[in-house]
Every structure is written in C-alpha cells, then in structure tokens.
Structure 1
Amino acid sequence: MSVRNSRLQLNSWPERVSPQRTIESPTASGEMLTRRQSAPALVVPPEETTHVVVVKRQSPDETAAGELVPSRRKDSVAVQSGIVANVPLDTTRSGAKDDFLMALLECPVCFGYIMPPIMQCPRGHLICSTCRSKLTICPVCRVFMTNIRSLAMEKVASKLVFPCKHSHFGCRARLSYAEKIEHEEDCDCRPYFCPYPDDKCSWQGPLRDVYQHLMNSHENVITMEGNDIIFLATNVNLEGALDWTMVQSCHGRHFLLSLEKINLGEGCQQYFTACRMIGSMKDAAEFVYNISLDAYNRTLRWQSKPRSIRENFSSFTNADFLVLNKHTVELFSEDGNLALNVVIRKVHEHTN
C-alpha cells in the first residue's frame, strides 16, 4: 500500500484537525508528505459522546483570607481574587521588615510597644520603662534587673512608625514614638471612663455609649431638657460625702452637672460644682455656662466653660469650678434644698 492510501484510511472518520503546516520532505517516490505540527488527538467516532471534566487547580499564590502574597511577577503582588495589584515588592518587603522590628519591641509584661528609654536585663531581654519600675528580676530569664538601656534598639525605634494603642477601637493612625504618646492622650478613639463623680464605677467604652451607661447604671442621675433649667439639690445639709448629678440636654448635646460634697476634716466641708460635656475637649470649648444662686435677696453668679468628661472630676476640683463652703450653702438653701439655675449657651451666642 502506498503512503497516500495509508493516510486516507486513517482519516476515514470526520474529525476536527488542528492547523497544519507542510514540510517538504522528498520520499523515495518523489512525493511530498504532510506532517502535523503536534501529535494528533485521539479520534472519536461521531456516534459516541465524550464528557470532559476540567479541574481548576488553585494557584499557589492564592490564600484563604485574600492576603497579599508575592506573585510570579517581579513588580507586583497577587490577591486571592486573582487580580494583580501593582504594588512594588520593595514596599511589601519594607512593611514586613518594620513589622518584624516592631515585634522585637513588644514588652513581655504588658505586651505594649516599648518606647524609649528602652531598658534591658544583663542578658539583653527588653522591657518597657513602666514595667521595669515594678520588677526586680527579668520576666524572661529570671536574672536580676539592672538599669542598662538598649541604645541600639532606641535608635531602631526612632526610625519606625507605630500604630496607636487604640487601634482596636478604630484608630488607624501610625506615628513615630515622639508623636505617639501625645496623640494617644487625645485620640478620638480612646475609650471614655464613666464620668460619675464617685470614682467607683469601672465602666469604659466609646463616647456614643456614655449617656446610655449613665441612664442604665446610675439610677439617681436625673435628666432635664433645655439650655436654661433649675437644678435642685435636696438635703444638702446631710452629714457625710454626698453628690448630686444631673444630665442637661441642649444644643443637641449632653452636659453633666455635678454637685459634690467633700469632707476636709475637723468639720470642714466644701461643695464643688462642675459642668462637664459628654464629648471631647474640642467640642466642650464651643460652649459657655452660667450658674446662679438666688435666695433671700442674695445673688451669686458663676461663669466658665464646661470641661470634657475626658478629665476626671476628682483631678480638678481645685481648678476652674465653683467652690462653696458650708456657710455659703446654708445662706442660699431653702428647707435644706439648694436651687442652682444653670444656663448653657454656645460661645458665639454668648458674645453677641
């Protein structure tokens, strides 16, 4: 049988063929042969049906959480969705290096970042200065602590940017160690402590929950609406340390008015009257308040700006607040009750 007849028999069933190219190769009989570019696929008769199952393999660059991982391209990183983000690998490597260095600066006691001055034990284990003042032995290797500073790690810390310690409350700021402490003191995401004046409540949480906490947990707190109200403190002559607390709602804000009676010893008593805003110090600066006492043809007036509940009540009772002694309270009280007229205005309203 000739070569041509053999080829015709192989192609007796119709089939889809891939593109062909002709390679001129002389045979013994001088005929030209046709050769496929690739090996021919298995020929299937037309009456039979073939089911083809395609299995997609997961790319080694994919991760379960969609994290950025190095791709095969040198100038990009890949994500789980398969989209390639044009982020230089140098940036990714730099971030990983910074994370590694910051991990070295985690205090083994409080687990916070160690800020200069950075203390170390004789074997080189680092500890923050706050925890160092409370310890005599290293929490890692149990040797006695000294006052050795790690100057090398202090230089490393000066080159890094750290997340705010309130990041789990939503703050996304990253700062140098020189800026970190100042930012954290006034961070908008910093949790607020309970502003009730007795300092016994340990609650803390976001600003949006402070008012509801006062209503739910402190039943003796009264509430009043309006920017001009009368706050009546009853039984002010009772012995012992007492407090009277009211929430005044006006201008779309909540203000906490507290009258606290403190025993100073030897029968000496003082009353501290404070108006604080349930808000930040920046917001509190936009308002001004007046407290007036009127009784028996006597008048006493006090004017100031409210403080923020960021500030602890007991920490500034000797600061810019109305202070009354026992005799003054007796002069203005009626039947043991003291009426305080509280007026809160915005600063621009007060000046106009």
Structure 2
Amino acid sequence: MAPDATYYDEVRDNPEVIDPPKNEDMVEVSEQINDHTQLSAKANLADASSVRELLECPVCLNAMYPPIHQCSNGHTLCSGCKPRVHNRCPTCRHELGNIRCLALEKVAASLELPCKYQSFGCLGIYPYYCKLKHESQCMFRPYNCPYAGSECTVVGDISYLVSHLKDDHKVDMHSGSSFNHRYVKSNPHEVFSCFGQYFCLHFEAFQLGTSPVYIAFLRFMGDDSEAKSYSYSLEVGGYGRKITWQGVPRSIRDSHRKVRDSYDGLIIQRNMALFFSGGDRKELKLRVTGRIWKEQ
C-alpha cells in the first residue's frame, strides 16, 4: 500500500614499480586485480550510502537513534515521530506496537560519518552514535543571526553575519574600542569592530518583575572561549550622578534573550533613565559611554 501523504505532513602517490610484468598474462591478471579493487571500493561507498538512507526517518527525514521502532512489516521510524503518527506505520499503516529494530541499531554502531558541518571546515569523522554530540559542540557550526527583537533565521560564519546585519538589518557599524552614544529609542543595534573582532551592543527596554527598566550589554561575535579574552565597561549618568557596569561580553552562541533575562548587563530603572535624560522626564535621551579592552 502506498504511504499516506498526510502522515508526512504531520509530522595519494603512485606506488613504485619494482618488478614490472614479464608477459601479457601477468598484465591481464594485474588489470583484473585493479579492476576488482576499484569495484570493491565503489561498492563499499555505495553500501555506506545505502545504510545511511536506511537510517533516515521517513517522517522527519533526520538520522534515527535508539530506540529505532519498526512495524510488523519491517518499516522503521524514529522514536520522536512514533507518537506523531498515532502509533501507525507511515508506510503501510499497520500498527507499530513496541517492536525495536535492534539489527539496524547495531549496524548504525559500526558506521563512521563526517560531521554535517564539513562544508564549514570540519574535517572530522565520527562514530554514528557520537556524531550528534560532536555536532552540538562543533567549533565550525554556524552562528545564528544575533539581531535582537526578531525571528531572523539566517545562519552563517561571522563575516557573513556582519554583512547581513549591515545590509539586511541596517545595523550601525563602528570602528574602535570606545563609544559614546545618545539613545532616543529603546532598541538600537550597533556593531563595533576592534582587535580584529566584532562586538554587538544591545540596549532595550523590558520588564524586571513589574518594574520597567532598560538594559545595555555587549555580545561577542565568536565562541565563548574567545569572548572571555575581553572585558568591557558601560556608564550612564547625568546631573552629578552615574551608574557603571563592568563585565565580560557573552558569546552570540547565547541568544539575546538568554543574556537579557540573566540580567548580565547595565540595568537602569526607567525613572532613573528619565532623570538622566533631563527635560520633562518623559522622553528618553540617554547617553551611554563604554570601552572594550583585551585582557592580558
């Protein structure tokens, strides 16, 4: 029976020749051996590709990991998709039950596969059941767009994201390790280039409990291990008063929301922000100064 479409919706050097062949028979045998070796190599590659196809869930199309389920007819799917198809095989519609495909799980254990971020520069080969963990921590995995306040799904390396922020999100770009800006809106985005790196400065309004506050913080466009090599300070004030903050920039591996909700930045109560703004204390005109430096 054909699959039910609705179920898919749901869910190096040449070797040195020491003794060349003496006669045509030996040449013919040599050619036969070489042909056999090449065919074997191609067959092995084809076999590996076929096994990888077998390990692809027909519903979500992702690689399957134990427990791998199967129906009485031998069709398989991953454990995550089993409840999504209401315990019925998406291929033949038979009830799935609780049958595990132990043979396929053992075959998977014998595989070694390249990292899925190979195109980004990762050259590692990993056992099937270790590959997923590696990929979650791979230093070559792309970064998510760090633009705050949007559901931007763009991913890429740092140079690509810098261009994306400038061209698509119209983010202000600056050079230098110090800044002095007056904010008249609560959600500006700025990128600073210094020490051969890029840093994102965020400033926005949000609720701290029931109190309206502003927060400013810096994020490093790179991994956390590199981010820890830098520090930054922020200062806001006026009329003889000021608030200062010193911290370590967080990596853009941490989402904007995660950093904000951890209060890891300069927090300014709204009434204090309006006081610093002067005037009638109704309009935000806040000057924030800061500096980035590299730790020795």
User: Could you say whether these structures have the same fold, taking a TM-score greater than 0.5 normalized by the shorter chain as the test?
Assistant: yes
Which residue pairs with 1:208 in the alignment?
Answer: 159
More helix by share: 2
Paired AA for residue 223 in structure 2: S
> Following the alignment from structure 2 to structure 1, what is the Cα–Cα distance between the partners of residues 268 and 84?
41
Residues 114 and 126, structure 2, Cα contact 8 Å, conserved in 1: yes
Unmatched 5+ residue regions in structure 2? Answer: 1-29
Which residue pairs with 1:160 in the alignment?
Answer: 111
Which residue pairs with 1:281 in the alignment?
Answer: 224
Residues 262 and 271, structure 1, Cα contact 8 Å, conserved in 2: yes
Residues 320, 264 of structure 1: alpha-carbon distance in 2 compared, 3 angstrom cutoff: closer
State the Cα distance separating 1:345 from its structure 2 match.
Answer: 1.1
**2:33 aligned to 63, 66, 73, which one?**
73
Which residue pairs with 2:22 in the alignment?
Answer: none
Residues 230 and 340, structure 1, Cα contact 8 Å, conserved in 2: yes
Paired AA for residue 340 in structure 1: V
Which residue pairs with 2:237 in the alignment?
Answer: 294
State the Cα distance separating 1:246 from its structure 2 match.
Answer: 0.9
**1:330 aligned to 267, 274, 277, which one?**
274
State the Cα distance separating 1:313 from its structure 2 match.
Answer: 0.9
Paired AA for residue 317 in structure 1: R
Which protein, 1 or 2, shows the higher relative CO under an 8 Å CA cutoff with sep ≥ 6? 2
Tell me the alpha carbon deviations over residues 194-227 of structure 1, each in whole angstroms, 9 at most, x when there is no partner.
Answer: 21101232322333210011111112x2222211
TM-score, normalising length from structure 1?
0.65
> Following the alignment from structure 1 to structure 2, what is the Cα–Cα distance between the partners of residues 172 and 257?
34
Residues 326, 184 of structure 1: alpha-carbon distance in 2 compared, 3 angstrom cutoff: same
> Following the alignment from structure 2 to structure 1, what is the Cα–Cα distance between the partners of residues 164 and 213?
28
Percent identity at matched positions?
33
Unmatched 5+ residue regions in structure 1? Answer: 1-69, 80-88, 236-241
Residues 291 and 302, structure 1, Cα contact 8 Å, conserved in 2: yes
Which residue pairs with 1:222 in the alignment?
Answer: 172
Q: Secondary structure at the match of 1:72?
A: helix
> Following the alignment from structure 2 to structure 1, what is the Cα–Cα distance between the partners of residues 99 and 227?
44
1:306 aligned onto 2:254: no
> Following the alignment from structure 2 to structure 1, what is the Cα–Cα distance between the partners of residues 31 and 142?
41
Which residue pairs with 1:179 in the alignment?
Answer: 130
* Residue-pair matches, total: 261
Residues 116 and 157, structure 1, Cα contact 8 Å, conserved in 2: no
Alignment map for 1:1-352 (pairs within 5 Å): 72-73=32-33, 77=37, 95-136=45-86, 137-219=88-170, 221-235=171-185, 242-263=186-207, 268-319=211-262, 321-322=264-265, 323-335=267-279, 336-348=284-296
> Following the alignment from structure 1 to structure 2, what is the Cα–Cα distance between the partners of residues 338 and 243?
12
Residues 126, 166 of structure 1: alpha-carbon distance in 2 compared, 3 angstrom cutoff: farther
Tell me the alpha carbon deviations over residues 227-273 of structure 1, each in whole angstroms, 9 at most, x when there is no partner.
Answer: 111132214xxxxxx4121111111111101112124786x323232
Residues 122 and 145, structure 1, Cα contact 8 Å, conserved in 2: yes
> Following the alignment from structure 1 to structure 2, what is the Cα–Cα distance between the partners of residues 71 and 302?
75
Which residue pairs with 1:43 in the alignment?
Answer: none
Residues 304 and 320, structure 1, Cα contact 8 Å, conserved in 2: no
> Following the alignment from structure 1 to structure 2, what is the Cα–Cα distance between the partners of residues 114 and 319?
35
Residues 280 and 310, structure 1, Cα contact 8 Å, conserved in 2: yes
> Following the alignment from structure 2 to structure 1, what is the Cα–Cα distance between the partners of residues 230 and 212?
30
Paired AA for residue 123 in structure 1: N
Residues 190 and 200, structure 2, Cα contact 8 Å, conserved in 1: yes
Residues 108 and 129, structure 2, Cα contact 8 Å, conserved in 1: no
State the Cα distance separating 1:132 from its structure 2 match.
Answer: 3.1
Q: Secondary structure at the match of 1:231?
A: strand
TM-score, normalising length from structure 2?
0.76
Residues 73, 132 of structure 1: alpha-carbon distance in 2 compared, 3 angstrom cutoff: same
> Following the alignment from structure 1 to structure 2, what is the Cα–Cα distance between the partners of residues 261 and 122?
57
**What's the Cα RMSD here?**
2.9
